[in-house]
Amino acid sequence: MSDGSAFVVNARDVTWRGREGLGRWANLEGEAEFEELGFQVVVLDPGVPACMYHGESTQENFLVVSGECVLVIEGEERRLKQWDFVHCPSMTEHVFVGAGDGPCAIVMVGARVPIEEEQIIYPANEVAAKHGASVEAETPDPAEAYARFIRRDPSPYCEGDLPDFR
């Protein structure tokens, strides 16, 4: 996939990836990331963050399609539910953490820039730390921010993670 050709894929049919202690991500883009726009579906179990609290140089948008989660945004908590939409302008610090009593599925879309233009910061944040989603000391280095989270081997879709809207 993602070789410049158009394609159609079902999120339940692709490989899923993740790190121990973080959410599960549908690898919709294939081996090569899309050049201009990132598009992901993430599934979070209750209490599990999607990633580390961060801000980046491109805008991002999020749509909760099922379940509930907590959004930590600019140091404040917001409880989100199905069909809540979040827009994060450039450098908005944020993280999503699963909540409720079942999985939460979120569509995540963000602009892409060449790697040499990309800026990201992982700030230490007390509110995000309550959810296990903050670094201890600010860093711009993703490898440092995610060092404690071991990569899982790619795996198939986990039955029940995505909703059936019938």
The per-residue pLDDT for 36 is 87
* % helix, strand, coil for the chain, step of 5: 5, 35, 60
Q: Residue 3 — pLDDT band, cuts 50, 70, 90? A: low
pLDDT at 2 over 70: no
- Residue 122's Cβ-side half-sphere holds a number of Cα atoms within 13 Å equal to 18
Across 58-131, the runs of DSSP E, i.e. the strands, are 60-66, 68-73, 76-81, 85-88, 94-99, 104-111, 120-121
Q: What is the pLDDT of residues 4-61, one digit of tens each?
A: 788 999 999 999 999 999 999 998 988 778 888 899 999 999 999 999 999 999 999 9
Report the pLDDT averaged over residues 139-161.
Answer: 93
The per-residue pLDDT for 32 is 75
The per-residue pLDDT for 166 is 75
Torsion-angle region of 36 (φ positive above 0: left; ψ -120 to 50: alpha; else: beta): alpha
The per-residue pLDDT for 93 is 98
The per-residue pLDDT for 117 is 84
pLDDT at 85 over 70: yes
Report the pLDDT averaged over residues 117-126.
Answer: 95
The per-residue pLDDT for 116 is 82
pLDDT at 112 over 80: yes
The per-residue pLDDT for 153 is 86
Q: What is the pLDDT of residues 68-83, one digit of tens each?
A: 999 999 999 999 999 9
pLDDT at 1 over 60: no
